Structure 1
């Protein structure tokens, strides 16, 4: 496949990709509620003459089959949901939905994959193989839209030999991309803890069982799971971000609610750690006269980039962008439900640079000021289309 052809088509549709991204950014919808987003995607695919099916209620799966003979199948994935964040930007495309924002770049992923669809549909006569376009709901919320899509057969009929996904990264400048082979992103589990004691007057602690004090001991002690039980060579993160003790300056409450996250890169250790955490927390509470209900909501597995596919994708990116614009990535302890796909078929999840300090687009994802340098959209669709075509053998 001629690289110049793809780059020319990508340049021609750039304005459309920007317009689609801005529309999606201005009209974000929360996980598993992406009804208007789904309709928008369906309408764009209909305009292009691409057949599609609807899965997982709001997910959309398009299919483009090249006219040359080939049995190869590749899937390309974009997530479509937004986050419960109030946007702080003042742009023409700022979110119209109060308290909802595309703060993780899923508007970029979706508009870029629509751009890929446009490019590949125009090249159907020139390539062989089948491309599955997966527009997936609910990446930001357990159990993860990917797990639902897989259960509903997204990786069947036809079954892709490979799957590729891209994700924005503001720490990388627009115009560049990043890759990492092997284990790349962490598993994630959500922790919900209720510590119960006996409330009462803060001036009479001897008459109470203080769940605030018990919870404090539990929070500190659980860090031993990381510092003294985890192999120091294995990245492990335990963080608590929510503590609710509805007492007052002189009131000890009956209970304290605690919420956190546990992340690692090894499934055996992941299972062991959850047993240790629960046992330790319950034991501390009991030893101090209280009780502890320790609930673990199992989240996404770790994400692994298959080495041969990732090496191929990186080589294609170097060809398309130049070696100086393709970077090495380190392990990333965030989690992604793309990991579910990587547990089923050969997968490559790479990073699209969107940062530009001069344009103020270096805020982290999940920040109310997150935005992108839209120059990133000049490469997002063309690169993914080119990688798909080359991986299909064209």
Structure 2
């Protein structure tokens, strides 16, 4: 098996893949609403005579490609399906036609690359050993996330994969490059919701009201101070409060103040400790000021930790496919990813596909209204996904 064979086969379908990606980009759907996206993928798989199961964990799709000695190993390949509530500002012929919804995180590319990999591998089953399980996952962008629902529906059973591989676009890298990081890579994500309530009143008569504003300010200050003082130095910790709603006026103290924030880190024990810090300080401060604080921490995605051996193997495979100069070691990243639900249960590797082209002005960040890709990255991403799957299937260490 050699790289040139894979590149040749992918090149044959590149125009088709670009058309698929443009259709998906033009027809985005929000989390838990990926009805038409799921139908479109299913129709393509039917056209290619590839067996699959729809409506797994919502609108998810799964299937299995059997190679040589199909029971020897099962590798899972995963792509997410949902889009974001963003109004697209790109002036392109395939701009979103769904008002206020946009593929601004590249999930259209992820689906396209996986579809391309499925098509090529299904036609060349002698290239890989074992079986390849493909997973189209809905609702990556919204808690509790589609991975959890798919797991509950048995996505990691019948057959059970021994490892899972995920790809994500990365505008920080030019098209033609990829990146990976062994070990801890992406942060846990928690949504913080605090509601402080008490007697509202006239700001000139402090004896007649409970100072919900002052309580909120003190809670924020003390929580941030305590977390900053005690945070481990070995990995990043992010605690940000991004929204405060206090519907008062110059001389009106509101009866309720709502605080919303996010907490992210790379250690599950420290994560639990911070949850306790938040609850303890919020309760103590609100009690001191004769107010009440309702606390709800929506525990989001766990820490994403790449399996060291799989990450090293991916790096080796990527170098073979793209050349050493095009494979980079990534920094830890404090954004979160639903793929972590899978890697908590089985070994996995989550890598990044470069999609930028600064010379053409294609370098907008993820989740921005002008996000787009250099379409040459589709051929690269598809080919690399295929090559890595093949070489991982032939590796006996997993």
Which TM class, normalised by the smaller chain length?
over 0.9
Is 2:224 aligned against 1:223? yes
Counterpart for residue 337 of structure 1: 338
**Matched-pair contact (CA < 8 Å) for 2:179–2:327:** yes
CA-CA distance at 1:70 after TM superposition: 5.6
CA-CA distance at 1:68 after TM superposition: 5.3
Is 2:152 aligned against 1:157? no
Q: Identify the range of structure 1 (179-188 vs 220-229) with the bigger mean alpha-carbon deviation.
A: 220-229
In structure 2, C-alpha distance between the alignment counterparts of 1:46 and 1:332, rounded to whole Å: 38
In structure 1, C-alpha distance between the alignment counterparts of 2:201 and 2:91, rounded to whole Å: 48
For 2:394, what is the secondary structure of its paired residue?
coil
Deviations 1:17-58 (A, max 9, x none): 111111111111111110000001111111111111120120
For 2:261, what is the secondary structure of its paired residue?
strand
Q: Which runs of 5+ in 2 are unaligned?
A: none
Deviations 1:54-110 (A, max 9, x none): 201200002111145661110000000011111122211111111111111111101
Q: Which runs of 5+ in 1 are unaligned?
A: none
For 1:33, what is the secondary structure of its paired residue?
coil
| CA root-mean-square deviation | 1.4
Counterpart for residue 43 of structure 2: 43
Deviations 1:95-132 (A, max 9, x none): 11111111111111011111111110121244332111
Counterpart for residue 269 of structure 1: 270
Counterpart for residue 369 of structure 2: 368
**Matched-pair contact (CA < 8 Å) for 2:58–2:146:** no
**Matched-pair contact (CA < 8 Å) for 1:194–1:292:** yes
In structure 2, C-alpha distance between the alignment counterparts of 1:242 and 1:24, rounded to whole Å: 33
**Matched-pair contact (CA < 8 Å) for 1:265–1:302:** yes
CA-CA distance at 1:385 after TM superposition: 0.6
When residues 70 and 290 of structure 1 are mapped into structure 2, their CA distance, relative to the original with a 3 A threshold, is closer
For 2:58, what is the secondary structure of its paired residue?
coil
CA-CA distance at 1:374 after TM superposition: 1.2
When residues 128 and 242 of structure 1 are mapped into structure 2, their CA distance, relative to the original with a 3 A threshold, is same
In structure 2, C-alpha distance between the alignment counterparts of 1:164 and 1:281, rounded to whole Å: 40
Deviations 1:273-308 (A, max 9, x none): 101111101211221221111111111110111111
1:1-394 pair list within 5 angstroms? 1-54=1-54, 55-67=56-68, 71-393=72-394
In structure 1, C-alpha distance between the alignment counterparts of 2:283 and 2:71, rounded to whole Å: 58
CA-CA distance at 1:219 after TM superposition: 1.6
In structure 1, C-alpha distance between the alignment counterparts of 2:153 and 2:70, rounded to whole Å: 28
For 1:392, what is the secondary structure of its paired residue?
helix
**Matched-pair contact (CA < 8 Å) for 2:58–2:149:** no
For 1:383, what is the secondary structure of its paired residue?
helix
What's the TM-score, normalizing by structure 2?
Answer: 0.96
**Matched-pair contact (CA < 8 Å) for 1:68–1:125:** no
In structure 1, C-alpha distance between the alignment counterparts of 2:201 and 2:324, rounded to whole Å: 66
- The list of structure 1 runs, each at least 4 consecutive aligned residues, that deviate by more than 6 angstroms after superposition, is none
For 2:73, what is the secondary structure of its paired residue?
strand
Deviations 1:248-290 (A, max 9, x none): 3343211011111111111111111101111101211221221
**Matched-pair contact (CA < 8 Å) for 2:58–2:150:** no
When residues 330 and 249 of structure 1 are mapped into structure 2, their CA distance, relative to the original with a 3 A threshold, is same
In structure 1, C-alpha distance between the alignment counterparts of 2:267 and 2:275, rounded to whole Å: 12
**Matched-pair contact (CA < 8 Å) for 1:226–1:237:** no
In structure 1, C-alpha distance between the alignment counterparts of 2:127 and 2:339, rounded to whole Å: 30
